[in-house]
Amino acid sequence: MFRKRRFTDTNVRDYPADGTSVAAMALRIVASRPDPALISLPWSVPLEEWGEPYVVPLPRGLSRHVVRIVRLGDRIYAVKETVEDIAFREYRLLRDLQRLNLPAVVPQGVVTGRVDADGRPLPSALLTEHLRFSLPYRSLFSHGLSHDSLPSLVDALVVLLVRLHLAEFFWGDVSLSNVLFRRSAGGFAAYLVDAETGELRPSMAASMRDYDLTIATENVFAELLDLQASESLGQEIEAHEIVELLESRYRVLWQELTEEEEFSASEMWRMEQRVERLNDLGFDVDELDIVTDFDGDRVRIQPKVVEAGHHQRELQGLTGLHVEDAQARRLLNDLASYTAALGLGREDRHLVASRWLEEIYEPIAAMIPADATGKLEPAEIFHEVLAHRWYLAERAGHDVDIFEAAADYIATVLKDKPDEAISR
């Protein structure tokens, strides 16, 4: 049916061979970094009917729309069928979130003008890059997540919501189903996956944040009851306690990140302490507002611009590794122990870091067997190896070498873990 193809950097059009109007028939792909292979997907078939060799068996969360995870060459995308306006709106919003450095899935493009073999129109499609090693919450539970981990899931959701709100993003549909979780040093990092109802605003009133928080608690409550009904989550969990935790942790974190604090001029250390507390929570203070009264004996401080990723940036600056913030913190701690153990405290930190990378981190990562690379990310394996070393040392009553711990971890623990990504 189609003969000519023309590629440009922002769109790809197909021209029908029979001379019918291009406007009526054109398949149009708007993409941020176009992947020419996108055109080869079976766009004239309803997404629901896509199968081999495109669709890959990666878990998906609950959704209103038809969503499929597809492989194209060595890249993996999520495709969602929806109406054109909504697809473009969500695409642009996800691009804005990327620009603001917020944790959300990365938009790839929108496909419109689809028709089936009989020329009947098909819905538009939004494509996003599949977030590697991410899991929908239901899969976490089916991978044996115990209810003790619920508070860390809640924390991850809270950090995401607070970060979005700090950027004046109103979500409108906060729920576990609209989030993807990545493992991070035993806890989780949450990413926004569904921005359909979202809106970036010039400023966001406290009442709108409250509204999002109310939606979050209602949805999470229902989702927990649902998990209990399907016996993925034990009955001993009180769903209302979990949503209360969600609300209180949100309020505590919001306050810590934004609240004004007043003290006397003789307590200036409180300024440094506040910054350290925020660093501890994984945030950098980019702008601190400091006001003194007329006599200069009272000081008021208020963080104005805070940015998540404190440990992440530090580790990346030292080693080039880009990992989740909690993983970065764990790696930085190991780097600190390494520095102390070798008495390298006076050396240049960058040099010590690259030595640690070469002597410790990379060799451990290289020990991961090829058939286990889809189980956990290297940084998460490193975290687990450190925990395993601690456990072995406790049992043995003496220190255990990290390589010995890694070998034991790989042989006894890692081998039984399920795949959580497609191996590369």
Ligand X SMILES: Nc1ncnc2c1ncn2[C@@H]1O[C@H](COP(=O)(O)OP(=O)(O)O)[C@@H](O)[C@H]1O
Tell which residue, 184, 156, 135, has the closest CA to residue 327.
184
Name the phi and psi angles at 149, rounded to 5: -85, -5
Residue appearing with tokens 């975290």: 383
| Angle subtended at Cα 268 by Cα 267 and Cα 273, rounded to the nearest 5 degrees | 100
Nearer to ligand X, 130 or 249 (CB): 130
- Given 67, 102, 285, 406, the residue binding ligand X (CB under 6 A): 67
- Given 10, 40, 63, 423, the residue binding ligand X (CB under 6 A): 63
Strands (E), 309-424: none
- Considering the complex, what minimum distance in angstroms separates the CB of residue 274 from ligand X? 36
204 binds, among Mg ion, ligand X, none (CB under 5 to 8 A by kind): none
- 141 and 149 in contact (C-beta within 8 Å)? no
108 in contact with ligand X (CB under 6 A): no
Amino acid making up residue 314? E
DSSP bridge pairs for 70? 55, 77
- Considering the complex, what minimum distance in angstroms separates the CB of residue 62 from Mg ion? 7
Nearer to ligand X, 145 or 357 (CB): 145
Residue 35's SS3 state is coil
- Given 196, 256, 284, 314, the residue binding ligand X (CB under 6 A): 196
309 binds, among ligand X, Mg ion, none (CB under 5 to 8 A by kind): none
134 in contact with ligand X (CB under 6 A): yes
Nearer to Mg ion, 194 or 212 (CB): 194
Quote the crossing angle between the two packed helices 150-166 and 239-258, to the nearest 10°.
40
- 378 and 331 in contact (C-beta within 8 Å)? no
Tell me the per-residue interface mask from 68 to 87 with ligand X, x by CB under 6 A, - otherwise.
----------x-x-------
Quote the crossing angle between the two packed helices 310-319 and 349-356, to the nearest 10°.
80
- Given 131, 174, 192, 285, the residue binding ligand X (CB under 6 A): 131
- Given 14, 35, 155, 194, the residue binding ligand X (CB under 6 A): 194
Q: What one-character-per-residue DSSP string does 262-306 give?
A: EEEGGGTHHHHHHHHHHHHTTEEEEEEEEEE-TTS-EEEEEEEEE
61 in contact with ligand X (CB under 6 A): yes
178 in contact with ligand X (CB under 6 A): yes
Nearer to ligand X, 6 or 424 (CB): 424
65 in contact with ligand X (CB under 6 A): yes
- Given 64, 277, 300, 415, the residue binding ligand X (CB under 6 A): 64
Q: What one-character-per-residue DSSP string does 344-406 give?
A: -TTS-HHHHHHHHIIIIIHHHHHTS-GGGTTTS-HHHHHHHHHHHHHHHHHHHTS---HHHHH
- Given 46, 55, 60, 228, the residue binding ligand X (CB under 6 A): 60
196 binds, among Mg ion, ligand X, none (CB under 5 to 8 A by kind): ligand X
Tell which residue, 346, 314, 343, 307, has the closest CA to residue 330.
314
Binding site for Mg ion (CB under 5 A): 63, 178, 194
The residues that touch ligand X, with contacts defined as CB under 6 A, are: 60-61, 63-65, 67, 78, 80, 105, 128-131, 134, 136, 177-178, 180, 193-194, 196
